[in-house]
Amino acid sequence: MPVFPRSILILLLFAVAGLAVVPFVSDRFHVQLITQIMLLATFAMSLDLLVGFTGLVSFGHAAFYGLGGYSLAILTRDAGLVSIWATLPMTLIACGLASAAIGWLSIRTSGVYFIMITLAFAQMIYYFFNDARGFGGSDGLYIITKPQFTVGDVTLFSLQNRTTLYYTAFTALVATAVFLWVLPGIIALSMGQDHPAYKQLVAVFPESVVALLGAGLLFVLPTDLRKHEFTLSWSEAVKIDWWIVFLYGGGIALGTLTFKTGLAEAMGGGLTSLLGVESRFALLALSTALATVLSETTSNTASANMVVPVVIAFARSAGIDPVLPAVGATMGASLGFMLPVSTPCNAIVYGSGRIPLTRMLRHGIVLDVVGVVVIIAVVSTLGPWVLGR
């Protein structure tokens, strides 16, 4: 599962919380409007998954959205079905059969021809329901009795209630977003990171897209619709300390580039060879100190990713057990108190303007030195006993 920065997760939580309270702070019109927005947002994510994962740019996706709506309306109006356990499977079957027939013909083309044939099928379905009698023409069909969730003779809830309909759409939106969020991880666990499906998904549908969609909702989630006030306005967005965000992002980029270009491995190998490290304790001390220094200019994760593989490789080549030095490097990467770029906490504190850089450096180096000494002492003392090394 992708790991998002804490700031993005906080924004997503605020967005979800804002959507959850809309029925309590908005009138009937705006509740219905936002319900439609969430349904269309779910539909948009399904199209993004289709285009991104399969690489098929379809102009006919809306046809199945409309076909599902007409199927539900016909089932409730003509067949008198209101139970979701009957209408949902029948609607899915109708859309599935239509998509199988259209897909069987469409996939025989490629490129711009595929795009145009999907558009042609969508137009044919549109004009059929628009011109045929009994389907309401351009006004469409109204679902007089909305589906109900029933178990036996007990009705759990009905979509006839606008608040229930709103939260059903809200649940579908959040569930779809979470599914798209964890989908790369699921594919990686089941098929492996070297599988073409995983590589294709990561390349065309990065996890950050889902986070950006959630953050974008802050601009449309209302706090008081009567005053036209939303969770986040542009005037408030420009006041965000963006240079701190860029500073921290630059540290992550620096760490990634250092690792990918091989600079970290060259520096680690050269340093260990220069210092002539031959014992496990010396390698533990060196790896912990090196990880701490790197964590000052890169993220904790990047520091560990750079130092730990180098430590393991060097330890094996020198005939030293790599477990304790790797543990020390991992714990040392969690330090880093001197610079704003070291950790998000440092960036937040420095961004407040109350802690000058000189003061952060002066006190941070003391914490780093004490932390390194404590890690070396604890790992060398308790490591053999806890880990059996």
Residue 373: the pLDDT is: 92
Cα(120)–Cα(65) distance, rounded to whole angstroms?
A: 16
Q: Are 109 and 97 in contact (CB under 8 A)?
A: no
Arithmetic mean of pLDDT, 265-292: 75
Residue 53: the pLDDT is: 64
DSSP alpha helix (H) spans, 276-356: 280-295, 300-317, 323-332, 344-351
Cα(252)–Cα(249) distance, rounded to whole angstroms?
A: 5
**Does the pLDDT value for residue 316 go beyond 80?**
no
Which of 320, 340, 336 lies closest to 278 in space, CA to CA?
Answer: 320
DSSP alpha helix (H) spans, 107-232: 112-131, 162-191, 196-204, 207-216
Cα(34)–Cα(50) distance, rounded to whole angstroms?
A: 24
- For residue 170, the SS3 value is helix
Pick the more confident residue, 138 or 255: 138
* Residue entry with tokens 């199988």: 100
Cα(134)–Cα(130) distance, rounded to whole angstroms?
A: 10
Partners of 149 in beta bridges: 157
**Does the pLDDT value for residue 39 go beyond 70?**
yes
**Does the pLDDT value for residue 225 go beyond 60?**
no
CA angle 114, 117, 118 (to 5 degrees): 85
Partners of 55 in beta bridges: none
Arithmetic mean of pLDDT, 91-119: 81
Cα(294)–Cα(368) distance, rounded to whole angstroms?
A: 12
Domain ranges of the chain: 6-237, 242-380
* pLDDT over 90 percentage in the chain: 1
pTM here? 0.38
Q: Are 43 and 37 in contact (CB under 8 A)?
A: no
Burial status of residue 262 (CB atoms within 10 A of its CB: 0-12, 13-18, 19 or more) = exposed
> Which of 150-154's residues contact partners 24+ apart within 8 Å by CB, and which partners?
150/83, 150/84, 150/85
List of residues 6+ apart from 385 with CB closer than 8 A: none
Out of 155-164, 199-208, 374-383, pick the least confident.
Answer: 199-208
CA distance between the termini of the chain:
32
Predicted confidence (pLDDT) per residue in 1-37, tens digit: 455 566 667 777 777 777 787 777 777 787 778 888 8
